[in-house]
Amino acid sequence: MARLAPLEDKRAWPALGPQPDQGGEDHERHRWHRAGPILAAARMGIQGLLKALEDVQRECHVKEFAGKRAAVDAHGWLHAALAGSAVDVELEVDDQIHVRYCAKRISMLRRFGVEPVFVFDGAALPAKAALLQERRQRRERMRREGELRLSEGDFAQAKSCLAQAVEIKDHQIDDVVRLLAAEEVRYIHAPCEADAQMVYLAWHGYVDFCISEDSDLLALGSPRVLYKLRGDGHGREIILDDALNGRSLEDFQAICILMGCDYLPRLRGVGPALAVQVVAARGREAEAVARELRVLGIAVPSEYAEHFRLASKVLQLQPVYEPRSGRQIPLWSSQEPHAVPVQLASHTGTSAPQETDALVPMEAPRGRVRRKGSPGRSRSRTPGREGGRGSAFVSDSFEQARSTQQGAMTLEEFIRRERAERTGSSRGGEHGDGDLASPALSVAGKSRFFGRQHSKLGSLWSD
C-alpha cells in the first residue's frame, strides 16, 4: 500500500515531569505537567483525517436537520469570527465582531429549524501542555509579524499573519454568553475539552448532531458531524458509521492516533494509508502497533507504545458533565456516573505517567454545576426524562447489541434505541422535553454580571 509523503518532522520527546510556572493570561496561570511526548503542531485535531474521509462527506444544508438540536463548538465560531476580521480586531476598530458573527449563525440555524446548544472549552488537559505552549509561541510570532506588516502598509500579509495570531479572551466569551442569555440559547461550559462534552451530549440524546471544524469529534465518537458550515446554511456532513466502514470505534481511534493527534506526534512516514494498514494487520494494542511499525521500517522511539496507550486513554476518559446529575464523569464509562477527582498527584520522575494524570484539569473549569438548592437555580421542572441509565460504555454495548441482533446494526441505530429505552417512547417528542434544567449549567465566578442571571440561564435547559 502506498504511503503518503511525510510532513515536516517536528517530533520532540521531552523529559517527563513538571515544568516551571508559565506566565501570561489568567486562564494560563498554572503549573504545566508533562503527560508524555507531545507533538507541538499548530494543526487542530487528527492530521489529514477530513481529507482522508472526503469520499464519505456529503454536501448538505441545515434545513435537512429541521426540528433537531445541534451542539456548537463555541470556541470554533469565536475563532472564525476573530480570524476573519483579524486586522479590525488588532486595530480595535470593532469589539463586537464575534458577537455579530454568533448572532447571525444562531439566527440562520433557527430560521431553518435547528436549535443550537453552545459548548465552551473548559480547563486545559496536561496531555496538551507542549502543544498549547507551541501554539502560544506561534501566535506571538505571528502577532509580531502582523504588526510589522501592518506598519509597512502590507494589509494582505498583515491579515494573514494576524489571523494566525488570534487568541480568544475571557471578555469575548462573556460577550457571547450575554448574547446567549438574551437569545435564550442553551449553553454549557465543559470541564475540559468541548469536543468530549459535545460527543457525550450526542450519545445521550441531548443533541442530535454536532457542528464543528475539529476532526477530533469523529475520533471521540460523534455519530454525526456537520463541517464547513457556511453562513447560508450549506455544509458537509460526515456520519461516523460511514467513516468506520465496518471497523470498531477503538480501531478507528488507533488509526487516528497513528495519523497524529493533539496527544501524540505522527511519526515520520506514517500517513492515513499506513495507519489503516497497521491496525488492520496487528490490531489496536500499543505494543503490537509499535512492533509492526518497526517491521515496516518506521523509526519508533522506545516510549512510543506507552504513550500510544496514554493517548487512547485520553481520548476515551476525558471528563465531561452529566447534565442531570451535575457530576464530572469519564466520557467512556461502564459504571454509573461518579465524581472525577479535581486534583490528583502530579507525575514526577522519568517513567511513563499514570493514565489519569493526563485527565486532571490544569485549572478550575470556567463552568460549574449548581447543585439542588443553591442560590439562583431555576425551580421549574418539565416532565420528561426522569431517571435514566447514566453513562454507557457505548462501544462495548454497541458491539454486544450488534452481535445479538440478526443483520447489521449501525452505531446511529444503536444510539436511537438506547435513547428510546432510556426516555420511553411515550414521553415528550423527539427530545422528550428532558429535565435539562436540573442542575443548571452556567458560568462560575462571573458574579459581576451573571449573579442575577443564573435562574434565567438555568431555565434555558428546559423546553
- Rounded distance between C-alpha atoms, residue 195 and residue 201, angstroms: 10
Residue 137 CB-density burial (10 A; 0-12 exposed, 13-18 middle, 19+ buried): exposed
Per-residue pLDDT at 376 exceeds 80: no
Per-residue pLDDT at 373 exceeds 60: no
The predicted model gives 391-410 an average pLDDT of 44
Strand 58-61, strand 441-443: pairing:
unpaired
Q: Which of 19, 10, 36, 26 is nearest to 358 (CA)?
A: 36
Q: Tell me which of 73 and 442 has the higher pLDDT.
A: 73
The predicted model gives 96-101 an average pLDDT of 93
The amino acid sitting at 249 is L
Task: With beta carbons less than 8 A apart as the criterion, state whether 102 and 77 touch.
Answer: yes
Task: With beta carbons less than 8 A apart as the criterion, state whether 198 and 187 touch.
Answer: no
Max avg pLDDT among 102-111, 398-407, 414-423 = 102-111
Q: What is the mean pLDDT of the chain?
A: 70
Res 158: pLDDT: 81
Res 87: pLDDT: 77
Res 421: pLDDT: 55
DSSP state of 164: T
Domain edges within the chain? 50-244+320-327+335-341+357-392+415-459
Q: Does residue 142 come out as left (phi exceeding 0), alpha (psi in the -120 to 50 range) or beta?
A: alpha
Task: With beta carbons less than 8 A apart as the criterion, state whether 440 and 461 touch.
Answer: yes
Task: With beta carbons less than 8 A apart as the criterion, state whether 359 and 320 touch.
Answer: no
Give the right CATH number for 50-244+320-327+335-341+357-392+415-459 from 3.40.50.300, 3.30.420.40, 3.40.50.1010, 3.40.640.10. 3.40.50.1010
**pLDDT (tens digit per residue) in 197-251:** 999 999 999 999 999 999 999 999 999 999 999 999 999 999 999 999 999 999 9
Percentage of residues of the chain with pLDDT beyond 70: 62
* Residue 410 pLDDT grade (very low, low, confident, very high; cuts 50, 70, 90): low
**pLDDT (tens digit per residue) in 128-179:** 777 788 888 888 888 888 888 878 888 888 888 878 878 888 999 999 999 9
Res 362: pLDDT: 34
The predicted model gives 44-69 an average pLDDT of 93
Please name the residues in contact with 405: beta carbons below 8 A apart, sequence gap of 6 or more.
Answer: none
